[in-house]
Amino acid sequence: MALPPDRSLTPEDKRARAQAAQDDVLLREVDDAVRQDQYAEAAQRYGRPAGIALVLGLVLFAGYLFWDSRQDAAQEKDSEALVSALDQVERGNLAGASTALDPLIADAADGQQAAAQLLKAGIAMEQSKPAEAAVIYDAVAADGDAPQALRDLATIRGVTARYDKLAPAEVIARLKPLAVPGSAWFGSAGEIVAMAYLDQGKNAEAGKLFAAIAKDKTTSEALRSRTRQMAGLLGVDAIDDVDSVLKQPGAAAE
């Protein structure tokens, strides 16, 4: 039997708890989505690490924007509603958590509403309902009142949720605007676009994009290492500083 929520928690404690729970839900959501993706044979070797690396950066960024927007005390009621939904997720009551988010989606301010929708979509993914999740992601992506960062996140999630249902050309068309150097989403969106190029048989384009991500110092080292290996498999040299690469953990295995 689950214990009732601890009423002695401070608002800061509750926010931290909600943040951790949201991160966990979205991490599992992306991990599940990646398992369903139908990547090329070479891409399958790196699919799960790609999803995990993607969510680590995106969730932290989106989570910061979300909680930063909730500092107004007048919005504490919405915060409590989200914490309640996350409590249900922690207990495994996904259906109850999804229902608890409905009032937020209907009445909350734009940022909170978009965050609640993303969480609801994540729950749908956890329930093996990618089509339902994709509809929610698309709604957030198309919402001109939602924060742009959450719209971009929803765009990437929507493509991930239905990757195996989309033509590679459509994947590229949707994510290419985010898959450009200088974009905050270059690494995460670019990797998926490169996978779509592989599905099209455009190995040269895929290799160039993998190499560009590998050389971008604003992306995570895990992503750079993975895309450097992919570029190498496709015959593209993505190493600028050989000595630096050789000093990295696991470099000998590459």
What pLDDT, in 10s, does the model give residues 84-97? 787 787 788 889 88
Same domain, 140 and 208: no
- At residue 190 the predicted structure's pLDDT band, cuts being 50, 70 and 90, is very high
Same domain, 35 and 122: yes
Q: What letter would DSSP give residue 2?
A: P
Domain presence at residue 147: yes
Same domain, 81 and 69: yes
Q: Are 79 and 246 in contact (CB under 8 A)?
A: no
Domain presence at residue 233: yes
Same domain, 106 and 154: yes
Q: What's the number of domains the chain is made of? A: 2
Same domain, 61 and 157: yes
Q: Are 106 and 42 in contact (CB under 8 A)?
A: no
Q: What letter would DSSP give residue 155?
A: H
Dihedral sign, Cα of residue 65, residue 66, residue 67, residue 68: positive
Q: Taking Cα atoms as reference points, which of 86, 107, 108 lies closest to residue 98?
A: 86
Same domain, 223 and 247: yes
Last residue of a domain, one of 136, 165, 194: 165
Same domain, 16 and 135: yes
Q: Are 137 and 158 in contact (CB under 8 A)?
A: yes
225-250 burial: b if 16+ Cβ within 10 Å, else e: bbbbbbbbbbebebbeeeeebeeeee
Last residue of a domain, one of 138, 165, 192: 165
Domain presence at residue 222: yes
Last residue of a domain, one of 113, 133, 165: 165
Q: Are 118 and 157 in contact (CB under 8 A)?
A: yes
Neighbours of 67 (CB within 10 A): 17
Report d(CA 22, CA 20) in Å as an integer. Answer: 5
With a cut of 70, say whether residue 65 has pLDDT above it: no
Same domain, 132 and 183: no
Same domain, 18 and 95: yes
What whole-number percentage of the chain has pLDDT above 70? Answer: 62
Rg, Å, the chain Cα set? 19
Report d(CA 170, CA 167) in Å as an integer. Answer: 5
- Write out pLDDT tens, residues 235-249: 998 776 544 544 455
Report d(CA 189, CA 201) in Å as an integer. Answer: 19
Q: Are 46 and 230 in contact (CB under 8 A)?
A: yes
Domain presence at residue 4: no
Same domain, 40 and 111: yes
Its domain, for residue 79, covers 10-165
With a cut of 70, say whether residue 217 has pLDDT above it: yes
Q: What is the pLDDT of residue 198?
A: 93
Same domain, 15 and 141: yes
